A and B are shown apart, each in its own frame.
Chain A
Amino acid sequence: MRNWLVGLLIVGLVSVWGCQPASKDQQEPQREVRVAVAGPFTGNAAAFGEMIKRGAELKAKEINEAGGINGMKLTLIPGDDTGTEKEAKAVATRFATDRRILAVVGHFNSACSLAGKPIYADNGIVELSPGSTNVSVCEGSDWTFRNLYRDDFQGEFIAKYIKDYMKKFQTVAILFDNDDYGRGLRDGFSAAAEEIGLEIVASEAYDRDNTDFKAQLTSIKAKNPDLIFISGLYSQAGLIAKQARETGITAQFFGADGVDSPDFLIIAGAAAEGTYLTTPFTFELGGDKAQQVATAFENDYGVLPDTWAALTYDAVGMIAEAIEKTYNKDATLAENRKAIRDHLASLDTPEEGYKGITGLTYFDKNGDTVNKPAYVKIVKGGEFTIAPQQVLD
């Protein structure tokens, strides 16, 4: 008798609990749209991940405060790819098969964007990267876009900059991260260096999980280069700068956008001083709109935004605009996802382009952004400053 009662109670509870979400869905149909944000929120590129998340959150907050997208609330779903291919595939599969997610902003690391690319393409969902610069990220997929430059441009830019504006540095050693980003950028740089007659005296690789670079640096020291080009991310670059000085290396350091994080300054400490680096965007030269965003960001998070926060802010804005212009609540998920892709692909001229804080973004037939310039920064007095010599055309 008692068992029978308990059984009835359980059945009753389960059915009540089971019904509730369903009825809620019916009451408020389509009150929110979901966009995923994928990035290295943990792992050894976590400083980038934090900025990416905050940049996205700030844009979403602004959109929702202004009434959302056609009255619908924009909800961001974060996915941590830890900066590794393996996790990126898992995150990509989760997002691509989630029937509530309309588009993905991410990934950050080139290796992760490349790993996610076929998964997003197979499931027909947009992947808009605010940070991947490897040459082949957008190639061969209609669904992958990015809102920053490629490494063939960046590598060539750095080689030419050294040749033209840093004339006393004639021999270069390269230290590259042994992944898609590090190798791709090294290739871009070496090809241009060879063409313009910049001598490369050493090219050493390292593994991203490593924190001891003394063996590679000792080899490089024997070649006595004038300049070391670090083709990798900020945390290893910071350790490399520090350990290089300690090994007795006096060379100038030059990094690329992977080094552009405030954490580089923290990790490298005094060794960061004088380092040159390139970046796809800088708030100092970004104009009034960018300054307003920087102030809003600082109010919310207590720190200034970096380049990646800005690019993610714009990427979320682009997706939101695409949803606003194309979303049809009666259409299927696949149709809505496709409409977002078609809208992005239609932004193929400067006139059509999206005007964000990082400048004008429009795509070529691959989904690459080819119009954005590279800026040069120098570390001075423990801070990033704008290099006096910029090449912006």
Chain B
Amino acid sequence: MEQFSQQLINALVLGGIYALIAVGYTMVYGIIELINFAHGEIFMLGAYFAFTLVTVFNLPFWLALPISMLLCAGIGMLMDVVAYRPLRNAARLSALITAIGVSIGLQNLARIIWGARQRPFPPESLPTFLRQGIPPTESLPAFSLTETAIALPGGAYLPYRDLFIILLAFVLMIALNRLVSLTKIGKAMRACAQNRVAANLMGINTNRVIVITFAIGSALGAVAGVMVGVREIIEPTMGYYKGVAAFAAAVLGGIGNITGAMLGGLLIGFAEVFGAGYIPYGYGSGYRVAIAYIVMIAVIIIRPSGLFGKSTATRA
């Protein structure tokens, strides 16, 4: 029981992170039908920006997070204007290859700026509730993590940081959902997603809508990046690994559908954690990513357009 509740927490956090990244893929795809492979790099840059802000500029963490979001939103917008807008009416393959190029370029740029070695956030730069619960060695084996985690009945721990990530992911997802369904820009986004030409004819500035979509997706990606940086580690290749899993989540949910991406993210997180936790003899733990993909493929076989995808022939 303790093991189960702990795995549940592990899965929720991972799923929440995937959902935040997956939304960035799916929003862009929904509007311009481009798989923006460079989104994983935005996620990585978000982590590095916040890291630089707290370590080099000595900003407090709660200020570094929004600044990093703004910077990533800016980079996302720039990426659209510089790399994708000139190809808006070109063959889709050209835009896709450009996306891969942007991804490789940004990853190597990060390597040049910050180096190839992994960096953790220095614990003292983080607010107490986001720190890793590491007891002093002298207190082992009897120790408690109550300063950094909530002890659940049965011995499982819910670190405040993980609780924060889960809550943040849910709040941002709900906010995004409201934004898209209630506001004017949200309406414009949906119109663009349905038919960009028609939306343009109705007087919607589609280029502006697309840029804003990139900005929102990138800002959410930055949040996920900072959270992964705080929880795990920052490295130039982090965007690739988490990005591919999040992309799988977006496809699983039905690419182009925001609710689908959120649920897809959670599902991939659950598949990974429970696969690794409960399939014995190392088959689960050694192949946890593969298990997540098997779940994705199984869903796609049954529902080719994903959980929430529109099953239209024109979108294939």
Residue numbers of A with Cβ under 8 A of B are 41-44, 46-47, 49-50, 178, 203-207, 209-212, 214-216, 218-219, 221-222, 235, 238-239, 242, 245-248, 250, 263, 266-267, 269-271, 273-274
- Residue from A216, A235, A248, A274 in contact with B285 in the complex, judged by beta carbons closer than 8 Å: A216
* B207 CB within 8 Å of chain A: no
Q: CB distance B289 to A212 under 8 Å? A: no
Taking residues whose C-beta sits less than 8 angstroms from the other chain, chain B's interface range is 35 or more
Q: C-beta contact mask, B230-261 vs A, less than 8 Å → 1, else 0? A: 01110111101100000000000000000000
- Within B146-193, the residues touching A (CB, 8 Å) are 148-149, 155, 157, 159
9 contacts between A and B (CB under 8 A): A50-B117, A178-B282, A205-B287, A206-B285, A215-B276, A215-B285, A222-B2, A267-B233, A274-B140
Partner of A207, one of B237, B240, B286: B286
Q: What residues of chain A lie closer than 8 Å to B98, measured between beta carbons? A: none
Q: Is the CB of B7 within 8 A of A270?
A: no
Q: Is the interface of A mostly helix, strand, loop or mixed?
A: helix
A42 and B236 in contact (CB under 8 A), knowing A178-B286, A210-B288, A216-B276? yes
- Tell whether, in the assembled complex, residue B14 and residue A44 are in contact, meaning their CB atoms are under 8 Å apart: no
Residues on B with C-beta less than 8 A from A266 are 119-120
Q: How far is the CA of A205 from the CA of B159 in the complex (A)?
A: 24
B10 within 8 A of partner (CB)? yes
Contact yes or no, A263 B117, CB < 8 A: yes
A267 lies within 8 A of B134 (CB):
no
Can you list the 4 inter-chain pairs with the closest CB atoms, starting with the nearest? A205-B286, A46-B116, A250-B141, A215-B276
CB distance from A63 to the nearest CB of B (A): 27
Query: Contacts A44-B235, A44-B237, A246-B149 given: A218-B7 contact, CB under 8 Å?
Result: yes
Q: How close is A244's CB to chain B, nearest CB, in angstroms?
A: 10
Interface contacts beyond A246-B134, A270-B136, A274-B137: sample of 17 additional A-B pairs, CB < 8 Å, sorted by A: A41-B116, A42-B236, A43-B116, A46-B115, A203-B282, A204-B282, A210-B241, A210-B289, A215-B11, A215-B288, A218-B6, A218-B277, A245-B132, A245-B135, A247-B6, A270-B123, A271-B132
- Are A248 and B286 touching (Cβ within 8 A)? no
Within 8 Å of chain A (Cβ to Cβ): is B118?
yes
Q: Is the CB of A271 within 8 A of B276?
A: no
| Chain A nearest CB, measured from B238 CB (Å) | 7
| Bound-complex Cα distance A392 to B178 (A) | 67
Determine the distance from Cα of A275 to Cα of B152 in the docked complex, in whole angstroms.
28
Residue of A nearest to B280 (CB): A219
Give A46's nearest chain B residue, CB to CB.
B116
A218 touches B286 (CB 8 A): no
- Let me know if A207 and B288 touch, CB within 8 A: yes
**Alpha-carbon gap, A43 to B2, bound state (A):** 36
State A222–B2 Cα separation when bound (angstroms).
8
Whether A263 contacts B118 by the Cβ 8 Å rule is yes
Report B152 CB to chain A, min CB distance, Å. Answer: 11
B3 sits at the interface (CB 8 A): yes
- C-alpha gap A221/B149 in the complex (Å): 17
Bound: A50/B111 CA distance, A: 13
Q: How far is the CB of B160 from chain A (nearest CB, A)?
A: 11
Please name all residues of chain A whose beta carbon is closer than 8 Å to the beta carbon of B282 when the two chains form the complex: 178, 203-205
CA of A269 to CA of B145, assembled, Å: 16
Give the distance to chain A from B146, nearest Cβ to Cβ, in Å: 11
Q: Cα distance A273–B138 when bound, in Å?
A: 10
Known contacts A49-B116, A50-B117, A263-B117; A42/B133 CB under 8 A? no
Q: Do B285 and A205 touch (CB < 8 A)? A: yes
CB-CB under 8 A from B287, the residues of chain A are 178, 205, 207
